[in-house]
Chain A
Amino acid sequence: MTRAEHDTVTPADKDATGEIAQPPGHVEVWRGNEHSPVEGAPDGVITLKDLEVYYGDFRAVTDVNVQFGSKEITALIGPSGCGKSTVLRCLNRMNDLVPGARVVGTVAYHGVDIYGPDVDVIEVRRRVGMVFQKPNPFPKSIYDNVAYGPRVTGMKVDSMDELVERALRGAALWDEVKDKLKQNAFGLSGGQQQRLCIARAIATSPEVILMDEPCSALDPIATAKIEDLMAELAKTYTIIIVTHNMQQAARVSQRTGFFTAEADEMGHRTGRLVEFDTTEHIFGNPSDERTEAYITGRFG
């Protein structure tokens, strides 16, 4: 469905036209218009419309229109400082924690603007989990790390033991830790810690998992394990990953977005989404010459 005047159509209009009434805060999944076309996957679990992020007066990214597809891996690539992490942090409102950060535009999760007035950020983060660059397990036992999310969000679970086992199996860590669940998570290796963080994230049964350079602190073998794991997880979850590793993006993702930051005439550098397409297309036959320059290593 394509609509030309997204902004002028309100839920009340929809009722008048006989469409099913939507819950408050609902925005239609944005398919773009001629001024700001939306690129991306057709089924749009998360849709960004005219996204713009400020840190104080500094505009870090602008004009991001994109749609992330369900149960696939989307990679965000681009040179340092172009706003990949900034965009990623908008998707589960982690930017709320940055003093002075301000988000303009729409971040719609299944059509609901997560920055809307009635939205509980805890509900958002339960559905959109996150894995960070450096493994950050809590100073608790392996078991308590995994059980943390379900406990703090008050999830009703029949058996926490089962849930912990399922999450650890899901993160391909169960066999390595099943005999030491009560031990402190700091005793694990870096790669194991990162898989524990993934287990922790999937324990709350999210739909989307955001990963910001999840392998950059790991050695090649641990990285390979995480990449295998991501491919496995993509059967169940929608994954959006920021990476500096071109080969990684090419290996694991189905779609890739390329960001870059170019200085304007005032000298302000603002990040923009240059191109978003299937990974095959981006790495095989990019439409934009800046994308090509970046992936062939001539720039960035």
Chain B
Amino acid sequence: MTVRQTRRSGPSASGDHFVLWQGPSVDLTQQRRRMGERVIKAFLVGAALLSVVVTVGIVVSLFAPLTEFFSHVGIGEFLFGTEWTVGFGNKASWDDKSWGVLPLVTATFVMTAIALLVAVPLGLGAAAFLSEYASPRARKILKPILEILAGIPTVAFGFIALTVVTPLLGNIFQFNGIFNMLAPGIVMGFMIVPTVASLSEDAMSAVPLALRQGSYALGANRMKTTVRVVFPAALSGIVAAIVLGISRAVGETMIVTIGAGLQPKMTLDPTQGAQAMTGFIAQIASGDAPEGSPVYYSLFAVGSLLFLLTLLINMISIRLVRKYRQAY
């Protein structure tokens, strides 16, 4: 394009609006110093950096003692051994103990599975009711009540598992002793119902009204609309809600410690008591674990495994959430 220097300022008659400014000179450089903005930016960068540094610090201090631990215990022995007798015997000795972590992992798995069996149907049912069936007034009253459930301290839940649910279930099942995995699993399920329900409800409420109208206009009733249109459309958020529930169950400590006891046991039978991973960590960390002793190092091994499991769950969740995400 050629610039014709001969033109005067102002819109040209030809309709071509490229105009060379010939009036007073214009200064478009920064006119004021914006200190406040810089301070705020520095603060925000600092906050972001600090949380990254702290996270990295936690991971490093969790993993660092592992070298010492695995110089005494084989990785295969740790991951696949079916006996865990770390709390027994001579505190200073590595050799008189069995280091198989599987009993702790199975106990965590069994109780999480029971919790999910309770929490997923109840949570999704509650979410569907709140989002699709309840009147706005009912929702306004019910949702806070549900969220109060999330605020109950987990010690209270553990206590309920031990003193209320176990005796009740004892009428049906044959428990040997007061500890079992069924009661804490069920109670933990109730504990995560609000998490699943609340997040799923948010996801379902976010489904555009137009989709529901489309479904009703085709002759679907409310139930079919909920199950066949709203659920699939909200699936991404529902998956995220369930995974968050799983993470909470896997990391839950008080309920499984109080309800399932401290006896490591390799079993899938929920009427048995068995120590979960978190239960072991709580027991040893609050009891006697002299620094540098084998038990002390085992804490880091179990802790790292727990961390990796949760990380894995979250990674799977992110993939699922992406896969099912819908763009409206």
Residues of A within 8 A of B (CB): 92, 94, 97, 122-123, 125-126, 129-130, 132, 134, 136-140, 148-149, 152-153, 186, 197, 200-201, 204
Contact = CB atoms under 8 A, between A and B. Distances in A.
B256 to A, nearest CB: 38
Nearest to B235: A139
Contact of B214 (A92, A122, A132): A132
Interface of B: 208, 210-221, 224, 228-229, 232-233, 326-327
B213 A97 contact: yes
Given A152-B228, A186-B326, A136 B216 contact: no
A122 B218 CA distance: 8
Contacts of B228: 138, 148, 152
B108 to A, nearest CB: 35
Given A138-B211, A138-B233, A139-B233, A186 B218 contact: no
Contacts of B217: 92, 94, 125, 129-130, 132, 201
A122 B221 contact: yes
Contacts of B216: 94, 97, 125
A152 B224 CA distance: 7
B326 A153 contact: no
B204 to A, nearest CB: 13
Among B219, B221, B228, B229, find the residue whose CB has the most chain A CB atoms closer than 10 A: B219
Given A132-B213, A132-B214, A136-B211, A149 B232 contact: no
B213 A138 contact: no
Contact of B232 (A126, A139, A153): A139
A149 B229 contact: no
A197 B214 contact: yes
B223 to A, nearest CB: 10
User: Chain B CB within 10 Å — which of A129, A134, A137, A148 has the most?
Assistant: A148
11 contacts: A125-B216, A126-B219, A132-B210, A136-B208, A138-B214, A149-B220, A152-B218, A152-B220, A152-B228, A153-B220, A204-B218
A200 B215 CA distance: 10
Contacts, number: 69
A132 B219 CA distance: 15
A134 B213 CA distance: 11
A137 B213 CA distance: 11
B224 A136 contact: no
A129 B218 contact: yes
Given A94-B217, A132-B213, 11 more contacts: A125-B216, A125-B218, A126-B219, A129-B218, A130-B217, A136-B210, A136-B213, A136-B214, A138-B211, A152-B224, A197-B214
Contacts of B215: 138, 148, 152
Contacts of B213: 94, 97, 132, 136
B218 A148 contact: yes
Nearest to A148: B218
A136 B218 CA distance: 12
A149 B326 contact: no
Contact of B326 (A122, A123, A139): A139
Contact of B219 (A97, A122, A137): A122
A48 to B, nearest CB: 19
A197 B211 CA distance: 11
Contact of B229 (A130, A138, A200): A138
Given A132-B210, A136-B208, A197-B214, A204 B229 contact: no
Given A94-B213, A134-B210, A136-B211, A200 B218 contact: yes
B89 to A, nearest CB: 58
Contacts of B327: 186
A140 B231 CA distance: 11
A152 B219 contact: yes
Contact of A153 (B210, B211, B219): B219
Contacts of B219: 122-123, 125-126, 149, 152-153, 204
